[in-house]
Amino acid sequence: MEVLCGTIVRDGDEVLVAVPENRTVDFYNYLRSFGYCFTVHCRGFCEDNVFSFSNSENVEKLVAIVGGFALR
């Protein structure tokens, strides 16, 4: 999953972003500062977590916002 960290992926009706476990809280707060609503799928201790957005999100805007966050 490390290769996909910070990459926006579409899966059916969801837009997903994988984030390393050690950056999950910071990324959560970062996205909330932009007013995003999302679900976090926690995969366990020391594993990547997946942020899930609805299909109606503006993906171009989301790409720009995610790209502005240092995941490592």
Characterize 37-60 residue by residue with b for buried, 16 or more Cβ atoms within 10 angstroms of its Cβ, and e for exposed.
ebeeeeeeeeebbbbebeeeeeee
Computed over every residue of the chain, the mean pLDDT equals: 87
pLDDT at 7 over 80: yes
Domain boundaries, the chain: 2-64
Q: What's 23's DSSP letter? A: G
Q: Which carries the bigger pLDDT value, residue 26 or residue 56?
A: 26
